[in-house]
Amino acid sequence: MSNPNDYTVGWISAITTEYVAARAMLDEIHEGPEMVSTNDSNNYTLGRIGKHNIVIAVLPDGEYGTSSAARVAADLSHSFPHVRFGLLVGIGGGAPSRKHDIRLGDVVVSSPGSSNGFSHSGVFQYDFGKTIQGQNFQTTGFLNQPPFLLRAAVTGVKARYEEEGHRIKANIGAILDKNPRLRKKYQQPDSSHDILYESHICHPMNERSCVATCGNTPSSIISRPERGEYEDDPMIHYGLIASANQLMKDAVLRDKLATENDVKCFETEAAGLMNHFPCLVIRGICDYSDSHKNEEWRGYAAMVAAMYTKDLLHQIAPNRVEAEKKIGDLLSDYRDIAREHRDVAKEHLDITMEDIQTQEEKRCRREEESCHQLFRLTRSDKDVTYEWYKDRVEERIEGTCLWFLQHDHFQTWLKQDSGPLLVSADPGCGKSVLARYLVDEALQRPETTVCYFFFKDRDQNTVRQAICALLHQLFAQKPYLIKYAMKEYRKDGTGLTNSTKMLWQILRDATKDPQAGLDTFCGEAIPQQSLWEA
C-alpha cells in the first residue's frame, strides 16, 4: 500500500468521465493508500506524472456544485496532509464571443486579470452578489488567486505553446491507441458536430435533436471559419471562469456575463475551492452553456483538459513543490467550507427556482451561522484553531493504544449512560496520542457525537476556550441544537463567549435535548485548576 505522505499534488475530478481522463494521464499507477481519515468518503487513484506523485479524487456519483467540491478537497487534505496545491480539471461550458473564438474541445485555464474595471482572481462566483436597480449584477465576495507556483508554470506553458505549438491531439491519440476501449467516448468528434446557435434560439423541452427542432439555417446558426494551419487546435484560452451551484443553460445570460465580465467559461465547482484549497482550474469545453444539450464532446473535452494539465506539471520542478506550504495547514473544517459557499444569493438572479425560502428564514439562518462561528474564537482563517492543536499530535503507531480499549475501567465507562472517565499519567507517556486515537477512531460511532479539546500551556488553556470548542463542534454536527445559544447571542452578541457560566448553561441545555443523543467530550492535558474551575 502507498504512504499518503508521499503525495504532493491533489487532482480533483467532478464526474466519472473526468476521472477516467485524469487516470489516463498517469505515467504510473500506484497501490491505494494504506490509510485515510476515518471520515473520508472519497475515492482515490494514486500515481505519478513525471517526477510528481499525484492523488486523484472524484466527487460522489450524482453530486456537483461548490459545496460538494469543498468537502472532497477538505477530505483529501486530511488524508493526504503533504499535498501542496490542487488542480481542478474537467469539463465546462464555453462563452464564445466576437472577442474570443472559443470552440468545443478548446481549453480554458483560470488566470487572474481585469476587464471592464472588474479585477478578478481567475474565478468568480456569479450567483453570490447583489442586484442594484439600474446597475449590473455586482459580486460581493472575492476568491483567492491560484498559487504563484502554478501561475508561473502557466506562463511557461503559454510561452512554449506560442513558440512551438502543442501536441495535445497527438498525445491523446497515443493514449487511445494504447487503450482502444476509450476511443469511442474520448476521441475528438467531427468538427461538423460543433454547432453554435444564436442566443435567441432555445431548445424545446423534448428529446429531439437540435437539427430537427432548432434548425440549421444561417438565421439560427453562427457561422465560423475553419481554423488555419498555424492556429492551435485545440486552442488554449486564459482568463475568467464563472462558477455557481447550478449549470449555466441560458445563452442570453451567458452572453450578458461574458460581455460585462469577459467570462470565457462556466462551471460548478471552482468557487467552493479557491479560498480554502489553493488550486488552478482547467476546463475542456464540451458545450456552449446554452439549452442545446451536447453529450458527444464531454469525453474529448475531459481529455484535452487533462493533457494540458500533464504538460503543466512537467513545467514544475519537484523541489519547488516541496517548498510550498502544505494545504492541510491552511484548511478549516469542511463543514465551515461548505456552509460558506451555500447558494445564499440565488434570489438575486432572474432564474426561476423551486423551494425559495422567505427572507426571514434566510436572515435567521445567517444569524445562526454567525453565532456558530463565534464559538470558534478566531478572527480570521489564519488564526490557529482547536483542530490544529489536535492534528499536530502524532498519530498512533499501529497496534498501540489498544490496551486502553480493553481496560476494565474503559469498558465499565462505555456501559454507563453518563459520567466522566479520568486518565492520568506522567508526562511523555502518550496521553496525547491516546486522546487523538480516541477522538479520530475509537469513539466514532454513528449514534455518538464526539467533541474534543486539547489544552496547551499559554495558548489554549482555559475552561472558556474548551467549552467554546465543544459547542462549535456540537452545533456543527447537530445544527438544530444551536437554538439553545440564540437567546443569549441576540442579547449579548460577541460578548456571549466571555461568560464561562453562560457557556456551561448552554452546553448543559443542548446536551439534555432528547434529540442530542449520546455526546462524548474528550479533553486532553486538562490543568488541575481547570478541573476545580469546572
**Are both 30 and 91 inside the same structural domain?**
yes
Q: Average pLDDT for residues 439-447, to the nearest whole number?
A: 80
Are 268 and 408 in a shared domain? Answer: no
C-alpha span between 385 and 329 (Å, rounded): 11
Bridge-based pairing of strands 138-139 and 129-130 is antiparallel
What pLDDT score was predicted for residue 183?
96
Crossing angle for the helix pair 148-164 and 298-314, to the nearest 10 degrees: 100
**379 lies in the same domain as 264:** no
162, 288: one domain: yes
Q: Which range, of 33-47, 60-74, 451-465, 469-483, averages the lowest pLDDT?
A: 451-465
Q: 324 with 373, same domain?
A: no
Question: Is 415 found in the same domain as 321?
Answer: no
* pTM score, whole prediction: 0.61
Query: Residue 162 pLDDT more than 90?
Result: yes
Looking at the structure, tell me whether residues 397 and 529 fall in a common domain.
yes
Task: Tell me which of 27-31, 112-116, 215-219, 326-330 is least confident.
Answer: 215-219
The last residue of a domain, from among 340, 373, 407: 340
In degrees rounded to 5, what are phi and psi of residue 56? Answer: -105, 125
The pLDDT value given to residue 422: 85
Domain assignment present for residue 197? The answer is: no
Shared-domain flag, residues 139 and 54: yes
| Nearest CA-CA partner of 103 in 226, 262, 248, 285 | 285
- The parent domain of residue 336 ranges over 4-191+235-340
pLDDT of residue 376: 84
189 Cβ contact list (under 8 Å, min separation 6): 104, 105, 296, 297, 300
Position 113 pLDDT exceeds 80:
yes
Q: Would you say residue 351 lies in a domain?
A: no
Write down the pLDDT at residue 423.
84
For residues 375 and 451, membership in a common domain is answered with yes
> How confident is the model over 166-211, as pLDDT tens digits?
999 999 999 999 999 999 999 999 988 888 888 877 766 556 666 5
How confident is residue 134, by pLDDT bands cut at 50, 70 and 90?
very low
Q: In terms of Cα–Cα distance, which of 84, 32, 53, 81 is closest to 395? A: 81
User: Which amino acid does the sequence have at 401?
Assistant: C
Do residue 20 and residue 87 come from a single domain?
Answer: yes
Cis amide bond preceding 278, omega within 30: no
For the stretch 392-413, pLDDT in tens is: 888 888 888 888 888 888 888 8
Q: How many Cα atoms within 13 Å fall on the side-chain side of residue 518?
A: 12
Last residue of a domain, one of 306, 340, 374: 340
Is 164 a residue whose pLDDT tops 90? yes
pLDDT of 429 reads 79
Asked if residue 147 and residue 32 are part of one domain, the reply reads: yes
pLDDT at res. 132? 36
In whole angstroms, what is the distance from residue 135 CA to residue 141 CA? 18
- The pLDDT assigned to 207 comes to 61
Confidence of residue 344 (pLDDT cuts 50, 70, 90): very low
The total domain count for the chain is 2
Calculate the average pLDDT of the chain.
84
Residues 336 and 363 in one domain: no
3 state SS of 209: coil
What's the CA gap between 512 and 509, in Å, rounded?
5
